Amino acid sequence: MSRVDPVLLEIVSHALVSAAEEMSITVWRTSRSTTVRELLDYSTAVFDGQGRNIAQAARMPVHLNSMELCLNEIVARHLPLDDWREGDVVVTNDPYSGGQHLPDFIAFKPVFLDGARIAIACVLIHHVDVGGGAAGGYNARAVEVFQEGLRLPPVRIVRAGAMQDDLFATILQNVREPETFRGDFLSQIAALEVGARALRELAARHGAGMLAQVGDALLDHAEAAMRSALFALPDGVYSAEDFVDGDGMAEGRKRIAATLTIAGDAVSVDFTGSSPQAAGPINATMATTKSAVYYAVIAASGIETTGNAGCYRPITVSAPEGSLVNAAFPAPVSMRMLTGHRIATAVLKAFALAVPERIPASYYGVTFNHAVNIRHADGRRQVYFDAEIGGWGGHPEADGASGLSAGFHNGQNTPIEMIEAIFPLRFERYALLPDSGGAGRMRGGLGLVREWRFIAEHGLLNASFDAFESRPYGLAGGEPGRGGRLCVIRDGVVTELEAKTIGFPLQAGDIVRMETPGGGGHGPAAERDPAAIAADRADGYVASS
């Protein structure tokens, strides 16, 4: 392990996280879309001069755990680091250049001191729309990535401090909400400069060379902490599987088979036996798959971490090429989040065989991403994007939490009043869903029900849902959580919609209702504490007898 003054290490490590936090605050305070400023669908991180992720602001694990993979890919195949100049900003949203799906724009800014590259700042933002076949980017009928929207290879959107206006105009011309996109993008660029400034000051203070050594040590320490936590786990080979409902095209659920091998202070996860690549957009690239595995391993290991790429070193991930979890170009990927969640829950289920006392039953299993392409009577257009979540699985020592972000997702909800102030939606209900938590000694947390009336002239509803059929699993004899649901109520008539819905036409007065899954239960329901049962009844968490 590299030797650095332990005091300096601790001081600089805090300063690096602060730089990531400063970027995060800047995005939060200055962005324009509800997706970014309310849902907080963005992340920020710091890399050393060689492109290694050394600090993160704690936000979305799905973003954080894939940023380094993306940078590696850019540097190896597109823009060698030595070609990056002071004042440049490199950006891409290409799933086949290290990204995950098109709405996520990953921007990097190299930071220089006295002509030498000392660090790289990174801000990833989920933008509200990227053009393509469906508003919000969730085109359920896409069979190629080309149908999912504008695909930007790694390019310099800013060169030596000058915004490339032609390129920027081209992007704006191809998205549905150019003004919102522009505002969020300016916020992204500004945050990179805020981070760069903090990193320059830090390097000037402690020396650029010192920063490089500290980077080594931070990664080594994170690796050592991870190895020591993994070493404490029982060696063995543990297999588990979980499922997604399907790709919205072919019949039949898709399988994610995870084989976890714990050997000494390292783990490997192999996905042989998983379903082949799907025709529809539920595929995951390796960036998504690794990101989900890293999340599951860090969570199961129990280490306390602020996170950096050193944590990933003892983790090996392998998956058959052309499979659901390692899709090959040009497979569509916009709904990769729902497969990613089930990759994480499959790996956690395998860990439950090794350390059952630590692992809860499955959480809700999928982030309910949805969007409406709105056309007002006066011709004005809007894109409403939102995400909903459900209940946590019962834990060996506690009931699952109701309606709380889980897994490698971590967003806020959008306040109803904020939505109504901006979009032509009027909410009828936002509530816990009784009986949705899986029964068990420890009950699964409840899913949510969300119901709104559409009041504009015309809208097209898109949904990237799952876990309608493949319910969140219970553990140790606990029941699975209730599955999800999407329906439209028009003049009192209920029409059930598919989990993957594209372009369902909405008219004024329609009510859209979505129900998110509850978590699975843990342990046999017969062993539940009678006092807990009585309290569940009194509060109506459990209504059925």
Residues 374-413 within binding reach of other proteins (CB under 8 A): 389, 392, 395, 397-405, 410-413
Interaction between residue 508 and other proteins (CB under 8 A)? no
| 84, 117 Cβ separation under 8 angstroms | yes
Interaction between residue 432 and other proteins (CB under 8 A)? yes
The correct pick among 107, 113, 300, 309 for binding other proteins (CB under 8 A) is 300
| 90, 74 Cβ separation under 8 angstroms | yes
Residue nearer to other proteins on the CB measure, 87 or 320: 87
Q: Retrieve residue 311's tokens.
A: 């944590």
Largest CA distance in the chain: 72
Interaction between residue 269 and other proteins (CB under 8 A)? no
Residue nearer to other proteins on the CB measure, 219 or 333: 219
Q: H helices within 274-427, ranges in order?
A: 286-301, 336-354, 416-422
- Interface positions, 182-201, toward other proteins (CB under 8 A): 183, 186, 189-190, 193-194, 197
Q: What is the Cα–Cα distance from 103 to 145, expressed in whole angstroms?
A: 12
The correct pick among 32, 482, 485, 500 for binding other proteins (CB under 8 A) is 32
Interaction between residue 225 and other proteins (CB under 8 A)? yes
Residue nearer to other proteins on the CB measure, 34 or 100: 34
Q: What is the Cα–Cα distance from 219 to 63, expressed in whole angstroms?
A: 19
Question: Which of these ranges, 8-16, 75-83, 272-280, 523-531, lies near other proteins under the rule CB under 8 A?
Answer: 8-16
Binding mask 442-461 for other proteins (x = CB under 8 A): ---x--x--x----------
Residues near other proteins (CB under 8 A), total: 92
Interaction between residue 28 and other proteins (CB under 8 A)? yes
Residue nearer to other proteins on the CB measure, 96 or 364: 364
Could you tell me the sign of the dihedral formed by the alpha carbons of 146, 150, 154, 155, in that order?
positive
The correct pick among 50, 58, 81, 353 for binding other proteins (CB under 8 A) is 58
Q: What is the Cα–Cα distance from 103 to 148, expressed in whole angstroms?
A: 9
Interaction between residue 516 and other proteins (CB under 8 A)? no
| End-to-end alpha carbon distance in the chain | 59
| 473, 364 Cβ separation under 8 angstroms | no
Interaction between residue 272 and other proteins (CB under 8 A)? no
Q: What is the Cα–Cα distance from 503 to 511, expressed in whole angstroms?
A: 16
Count of C-beta atoms within a 10 Å radius of residue 544? 7
Alpha-carbon distance values, 301 to 50, 53, 265, 406, 514 (Å): 28, 20, 11, 16, 34
Q: What is the Cα–Cα distance from 362 to 345, expressed in whole angstroms?
A: 6
Interaction between residue 29 and other proteins (CB under 8 A)? yes
Question: Which of these ranges, 12-20, 207-215, 235-243, 335-343, lies near other proteins under the rule CB under 8 A?
Answer: 12-20
Residue nearer to other proteins on the CB measure, 77 or 380: 380
Interaction between residue 418 and other proteins (CB under 8 A)? yes
Residue nearer to other proteins on the CB measure, 358 or 458: 358
Interaction between residue 260 and other proteins (CB under 8 A)? no
Q: Retrieve residue 20's tokens.
A: 């990531």
